[in-house]
Amino acid sequence: MKEEIKKILGMMEEGKLDSEEATALIQALQEKEVVETKVAEPDYLKKFLKIRISDQEDKVNVNLPLRLVKVALQSGLDIAAKLPESAKYVEGIDKVDVDLILEAIENEAEGQIVDITGGDGEQVSIVIE
């Protein structure tokens, strides 16, 4: 973008553009750069939130794209309210700190963020990768 601005300023010095035209062109370049920056997708949102729950009899694996998790949270879905209901089906899930998961996503954390092992062999693991 610096080269384009130099060209615009050079054209203004040569009298090919007046100051208003040069200003308009520079603003258009800056707006274009802002739009291109917003379109570029951060690599972090290409990762997955992986939830692994297992006990002696069953194993549950859930892989959720972080983009979906983030959009769901931004659109107002209250995941925390769903956890007590889920606890009926999977013991130990009610011990998961949803705020911790949300904070990890906002801070672009990677790796294991939750690891719970119950006394009777139940395990809950949440990983971002």
Tell me the pLDDT tens digit for each residue of 30-50. Answer: 877 665 555 555 688 889 989
| Residues 112, 66, 48: CA angle, nearest 5 degrees | 50
Instruction: Judge if 65 and 109 occupy the same domain.
Output: yes
Average pLDDT, integer, range 23-28: 86
pTM over 0.75, yes/no:
no
48 in the same domain as 28: no
Same domain, 51 and 9: no
Predicted confidence band of residue 6 (pLDDT cuts 50, 70, 90): confident
Mean pLDDT within 68-85: 61
Residue whose C-alpha is closest to residue 121's, from 58, 32, 39, 51: 58
pLDDT reported for residue 50: 92
Note whether 48 and 20 are same-domain residues: no
Same-domain check for residues 76 and 108 = yes
Range of the domain at 8: 2-39
